[in-house]
A and B are shown apart, each in its own frame.
Chain A
């Protein structure tokens, strides 16, 4: 049913349709509305046969989900940024144990400095954990991906993280088609565990594994991600058949067929990039976009195929591995390595800590990549003057003060507002 609804509330409704049995709630901006929405649905009786547990930390949230999932219940939780880091041990534990937990990640920057706005640093921090990571481009896709996530997780027996841009998607109200229960039930069967704690058939889960077997266990987790590369498109196809629209899959191509320049990106920024591409196409520039939906497993083969004919590839991402560069650019580079005529790769980092990514800046960036390419990582819309001043200040004196506060003071002075001492 079509609704004009806030992204988080639509996601809550979609998750409820998946009949979760245990939901763990701990608040953190920007996912809080999702767990609040689920809490209301449980309390008002719309979501039945669901235990809603208010936990005391994110570490507890995922731990409760681990216990519930191991005992055979469909388990769900949500977090972001600092919360994800706080549950980090449990993140690796869940994937190491192969438990099909679904978790929403309301993408938000990781501090310090503390920042509540959107970027992808939180998702990047767990990209090696074995969790599947799916990025939603729109709120409609956010709804649809959650439904697919439970199916993929339970088939594979591996946890899945659905990444949705904080604020930009979670707090935007837009037109979304929320599916009905019957269609979801037809798509998503009840949870049938691969392993389960049951007094009728006792097993021990979570033993210590030594050097003699650890490598094999890890290999099988690695192999599962390979299996996921096949499962994800298969379940996306089935979704399209049952729900009547495309969503999910490994990646999507937009106007790439004859493109000289192909942009690669993830999440909501792809919408803005599409508008920019249409405008540039009107100017006669052959440019297209590959939207990566499945970041883990990373769709190396599909990506290589979609980029093979391009001359330039511009990766725009909302995160950076400090000291090294963009993680997405790095992964894209790996995919391009074995091409006979690999395109030139241009890495841009944008939108960190919620800085808006504008069409104007993207127009400039995409043109610059071809005409005046840069080396290494380019920080979109970097305030060079502020950065230069801070570097100079640090050289001048040892006790130069905290960097973040110095920069904020510079910006306050520049905008004419009174600066705090």
Chain B
């Protein structure tokens, strides 16, 4: 194999050091300037979601929430109130009589987090405490399904609330049932891997980020626990904006997805890099930024480590729905411009 260095021109012989670690893969960030370090790297972080909660080993949601809320706390100088929908996050963070929240926190119902947050924000306005900001948070079930009406109402009124959806693609807390965020072909307790079309049916489901963009609200973003800096940056940016904002974070659930608990970040990265989970930002109805895919992975690389897709790989021939999933990936890549065309070498 030819030596890559030997084939370079003299001025390029010394390979430039690329700090990939700056981006996603190393969280400790000792290699970067302090200003670029993550909030979590700081000892003064608020630890708003502190240790002692009862999340599963490898829980993507716990990871995402910790990063998101601490970033929001820093951005608001700790003037933050959180409203939580019923779900995993609420349950594992408040096992009575303990709580792992170190900020004011309210849990009301499953489907009303957005509306309750609207009420909290209204109270802060009327009390002339505009510096106190409000976050509503919930899982995909509580956001895309049962909480959808309240979410859309909050968007439409442009209430000053940041809604964070931790998307693990199913109703995990109640035993892994299908939600409208569950990807096609995925096995859940209510879309079992049996019959003519095992798993979740193609042609169903909805993209709440797209709907949020259609609402024309000031800020919409998708994010992932595979890029925690990016997640923190997006939350920080959102807290600098007034009005309705939405961030949806892809958070793998090892239990629900049938994945290994140490694979959480790897799977989140693969979801982005195969194109199934586009990472983008939008403002007032227009996409403004996308996160490019550096190395496009085939969708099978993402699917295979998850038992919820195992039925696609049982037969001798690959299930044709794998190709359909790949087609979804390709369509996302095309729609969002996630892959730069690679210039052909002469």
Contacts and interface: CB of A to CB of B under 8 A. Distances in A.
User: Is any CB of A less than 8 Å from a CB of B in the complex?
Assistant: yes
A63 B105 CA distance: 15
B153 A57 contact: yes
B115 A202 contact: no
A205 B112 CA distance: 15
A205 B106 contact: yes
Interface string B216-229: 00000000000000
B105 A54 contact: no
A412 B80 CA distance: 62
A324 interface: no
Interface stretch (B16-24, B119-127, B277-285, B332-340): B119-127
Contact of B106 (A49, A70, A201): A70
Interface residues of B, number: 45
A73 B127 contact: yes
Contacts of B15: none
Contact of A206 (B102, B107, B121, B150): B107
Contacts of A104: none
B108 A93 contact: yes
Contact of A198 (B95, B104, B107, B116): B104
A50 interface: yes
A63 B123 contact: no
Interface in A35-59: 49-51, 53-57, 59
B157 A53 contact: yes
Contact of A204 (B78, B99, B108): B99
Interface in B105-160: 105-112, 115-127, 132, 149-150, 152-153, 156-157
B84 to A, nearest CB: 8
B94 interface: yes
A63 B104 contact: no
A73 B122 contact: yes
B299 to A, nearest CB: 37
A57 B149 contact: yes
A59 B112 CA distance: 8
Interface string A188-209: 0000000001110111111111
B105 A204 contact: yes
A206 B112 contact: no
B103 interface: yes
A97 B112 CA distance: 15
Interface in A56-95: 56-57, 59-60, 63-73, 75, 89-90, 93
Contacts of A168: none
B104 A199 contact: yes
A205 B119 CA distance: 15
Contacts of A68: 119-120, 122-123
Contacts of A207: 94-97, 99, 107
B97 A197 contact: no
A317 interface: no
A210 to B, nearest CB: 6
A66 to B, nearest CB: 5
Contacts of A97: 108
Given A57-B149, A73-B127, A64 B118 contact: yes
B107 to A, nearest CB: 3
> Residue among B103, B120, B124 with the most chain A CB within 10 A?
B120
A213 interface: yes
B120 A197 contact: yes
Contacts of B300: none
A63 B96 contact: no
> Residue among A59, A64, A93 with the most chain B CB within 10 A?
A64
Contacts of A71: 81, 119-120, 123-124, 127
Given A22-B123, A73-B127, A204 B101 contact: yes
A67 B104 contact: no
B126 A73 contact: yes
A64 B94 contact: no
A67 B119 contact: yes
B65 to A, nearest CB: 14
A241 B39 CA distance: 59
A21 interface: yes
A248 B91 CA distance: 42
A116 B79 CA distance: 45
A53 B79 CA distance: 23
Nearest to A209: B96
B119 A63 contact: yes
Interface in A188-238: 197-199, 201-210, 212-213
A197 B116 contact: no
Given A73-B127, A90-B109, A199 B81 contact: yes
A56 B153 contact: yes
B66 to A, nearest CB: 16
Nearest to A61: B115
Contact of A51 (B97, B122, B149): B122
A67 B116 contact: yes
A201 B79 CA distance: 11
A53 B118 CA distance: 9
Contacts of B157: 53-54
B162 interface: no
B132 A53 contact: no
A71 B122 CA distance: 9
Contacts of A53: 118-119, 122, 157
B81 to A, nearest CB: 5
A66 B94 CA distance: 19
B101 A64 contact: no
B268 interface: no
Nearest to B112: A63
B247 interface: no
B83 interface: yes
> Residue among B78, B106, B127, B152 with the most chain A CB within 10 A?
B106
A24 B79 CA distance: 25
Contact of B83 (A51, A67, A209): A67
Contact of B96 (A67, A202, A208): A208
A64 B104 contact: no
Contacts of A24: 119
B94 A51 contact: no
Interface in B46-88: 78-81, 83-84
B96 A210 contact: yes
B154 to A, nearest CB: 9
A49 to B, nearest CB: 6
Contact of A90 (B79, B94, B112): B112
12 contacts: A21-B123, A51-B122, A53-B122, A54-B157, A60-B112, A60-B150, A66-B119, A71-B120, A199-B81, A201-B104, A208-B94, A208-B96
Interface of A: 21-22, 24, 49-51, 53-57, 59-60, 63-73, 75, 89-90, 93, 97, 197-199, 201-210, 212-213
Cβ-closest 3 pairs across A and B: A67-B119, A206-B107, A56-B153
